[in-house]
Amino acid sequence: MIIIIICTIVVLGAMVCDIVRRRQYKPSAQLRELKQSLSPEHATQGNSIETYTNISQLIPPLLRDIDCAKEYVLFQFFKFEKDSLGMVVREALIKKAQDGVPVLVIYDAFPGSIVKHSFFREMQRAGVKVHRYNPVLPIPSAYSNNRNHRKIVVIDGHIGYVGGMNIAERYLKGVHNGDWRDTHLRIEGAACQQLQQVFMDDWRKQSSATDIDLPTLYLGNADTTSATPTQPAEGAQPAQSAIQIIASDPEDSTPPILQAMIQMADSAKQYLYIQSPYFLPPKPLQEALCEAAKRGVDVRLMIPQRGDRSIFISYASRSYLKPLLAAGVKVYFHTFGFIHAKAWVADDKIAMVGSSNIDFRSFTQSSEVNAFVYDTIFTQQMRQIFEQDMWYCDMIPQDWWQQRSIQERLLQVIVKPFAHLL
């Protein structure tokens, strides 16, 4: 009994200390700027973009950029698995650290991770600085359910990666019925400084001020004028894109990324195409999409026919479709493999690619980061990608809701009340 009481006191004490530490934490002024409303006025100019729709396209340029790094590498993924792909990427980071280039790695220590900590300890022994984000064990925290879902790479302050892909072999192998379809961006330009601000704020949350020479790297202070120029990636758009990086955290009373999505729906005039692996929208977003369709906007939503984790998520997503179908939204079930892309495009004027799903977890419990791009050429490319993906979809008829089987109706009724937990 005494042991139980002591353990309880220790756990409660740790939770209190964690709450105090988090309340004392203040996001940087630069990060607060990345939580402003959606507007070209907040975008950086003159960026070039390369778009990848599967991980086999992403890995070669990523490894090349890591190998060419001269100043530093900032590397953050929600999942960084100990498998054949993870080992290749880990070796590239270790080699760069052994060359004397600072390498900082953040990975989310979520409970379901299959990664052994030895995988990262070997990186640390080789000189890579590693932080686990919000570890759950050995002592749980009041914030244990808050995860970092971001995927960020910044190299020498002028090359960056952001999107929906993780470092995991399953992205190469796909799923039982096809490929793993995702969207990720490689960016060159000033927008990388905004990505760096988000990364370093996450780093600061998990470390002390003396853990790294922050003035050298923190919030755009890195000297990128001497950075070795790289050849533009094959297929990259010219350096003309305006990009606004928007970040959101569980601490936000009003999630900036959710607000930006609602703004995109409210401002759409001709079309709005959306891809998301999950569709559990808060009511304001659901209403914004319905209102857009009612005023004549061609609103199209593409979600997987089958979920990647369980059938419950699929049924929960479908339970939100009734008002959209009634409003005239065109809904597509992606049937080949699994679509994990988090991408929006509207009116050939603005597009969004990032880590945020359309679900309550992304908006209230996870740290996310999305790139909003104001560029006609890029948005046209994103629209074409969506239209190509439609070849692998079944469009849901307007009367689909009434034709659902008894089993589907029952499962949707059962799982929808738990949507906030999925």
3-state secondary structure the chain: CHHHHHHHHHHHHHHHHHHHHHHHCCCCHHHHHCCCCCCHHHCEEEEEEEEECCHHHHHHHHHHHHHHCCCCEEEEECCECCCHHHHHHHHHHHHHHHCCCCEEEEEECCCCCCCCHHHHHHHHHCCCEEEEECCCCCCCCCCCCCEECCCEEEECCCEEEEECCCECCHHHHCECCECEECCEEEEECCHHHHHHHHHHHHHHHCCCCCCCCHHHHHHHCCCCCCCCCCCCCCCCCCCCEEEEEEEECCCCCCCHHHHHHHHHHHHCCCEEEEECCCECCCHHHHHHHHHHHHCCCEEEEEEECCCCCCHHHHHHHHCCCHHHHHHCCEEEEECCCEECCCEEEECCCEEEEECCCECHHHHHCEEEEEEEEECHHHHHHHHHHHHHHHHHEEECCCCHHHHCCHHHHHHHHHHHHHHHHC
CA-based nearest residue to 53, from 194, 235, 227: 235
Amino acid making up residue 74: L
Catalytic residues: 149, 151, 156, 340, 342, 347
Query: Quick one: tokens of 213?
Result: 């020479």
Instruction: Compute the distance between CA of residue 270 and CA of residue 259 in angstroms, rounded to an integer.
Output: 20
In 10 A of CB 250, how many CB atoms? 18
In angstroms, rounded to a whole number, what is the distance separating the alpha carbons of residues 265 and 285? 8
11 and 228 in contact (C-beta within 8 Å)?
no
Taking alpha carbons only, the member of 422, 417, 386, 394 closest to residue 307 is 422
